[in-house]
Structure 1
């Protein structure tokens, strides 16, 4: 009996020890099981620093408008708005501008290696370098071409050489002259600064009479010009945006190719030498443009800016480069 009593006492002591251990351990076990449960059943949050930075898309193709303002007749002010960077309309103001879905087609000029954008509905065409792109920017112009590159976010951005668009500004032209029409529509209140135009004069685009209007810009790297030409009772606006410091010679070459397709030309100027073609504008292609720009026989037969022996543009050799074809 004494041995049984000792055995029972030992069992009771062991039971008390086990109970005490469980009493202490169970809360910790429950805590860790709860943490494990939450970690495996709930989605793990990711730090915002671990996510790649995403740049929001720019619907205006990187165009930043100048911050100048125009005063309206009622005393209110309006600013320039993208994508075309024109002044917002004054209260109650109407416009004759027309937005048209692009209808242009693109072909290659095998003489120069350049591309040709043509709008058959309105009979207009313009040539541009092969490294430029065609796009339907700025309220659906008839033709839109530009120096475009794709940035790291996949957005198409206008490069330093800028862009050129052609659109209809007035579809019912009935004025006495282009200059008079421009004055009535854009030079309001007798002060050209009210519409932002810093310089206006008469010129030509591809041999067609035009009014050139340049817009003041507070940005030293940006210049916007508009050429207004009239054909078949319509006013076409050729809009040019480019870097102030570069791009003008190329822009001038492109503008010189602007033509109305129903204008018949019985004679033309072409290069004497074979014109090379490549992905970039070569010296011979650049020289050939100077031939195609000539509208008279006298001007055509005086071009001497290309040395054929070295394919060097801008180095006269005393041999005329172009010939007049009738």
Structure 2
């Protein structure tokens, strides 16, 4: 029996040991090469695009020879105004991609020996950069669609007489959300968060090619897909697959990863940030066949290409 790729040595091309053995200078050089890959790691002014610069070695900064603007390798990126060392930043990315089901901010803070709030914001910055990879993308050909509900758990009262019917709307917490996923077979996974799974119909019309073939379960709200797309349905009360290609197994596989991420790692996810956790799980699912060195380089490239976060910059300072 052939060995699974993720169990092979080919899947391990980067380790924390190699990052810390390389030291701060090598980590800094890595970020320069990722940021200015088109210029062989040499600085390019983010303001005017000039490639001539004076190096301010005492502060790891550059001064543009054209407009005299001072900048660093992280200026204008999601890591702007960072205080963490480049070695720790690179290690954080490595830990982030090595965690197949995600990693909690508490565990990351212990691994990096930093405050919980630092790890929390850094994790969300990385998720924001990762989700930008599929921004404005569409899906086509064969697409599976489904939804899964998260949050809003109501703890039952201790005494039986005090317990309420938790299915009734008046007893809901208002925090329950549904993650709607559209997964192209052999392609990408797009996720959106809403209050009802039925919202997925309009989302499909917006992000899917009109010539796509959709695969959905027996839920009644997916009936509306038949008017726009070629749609096949599978009744899960009878079978999970008809053995002729009609199933939602791949999108269910994504939800399996997301549920384990939420329940096993984070334990609680705010509905305000559920979309970022969903995007994180989708990114891991779509790139699960890549070695961890390639994954880390990819995340670093996305982070260095992403502008300053308008949500997470100065988060704790409000």
Q: Same fold (TM over 0.5)?
A: no
Structure 1 or 2: more strand by fraction: 1
| Higher gyration radius (CA) | 1
Between the two structures, name the one with larger relative contact order (CA 8 Å, sep ≥ 6). 2
Task: Report the TM-score, using the length of structure 2 for normalisation.
Answer: 0.20
Structure 1 or 2: more helix by fraction: 2
Task: Report the TM-score, using the length of structure 1 for normalisation.
Answer: 0.20
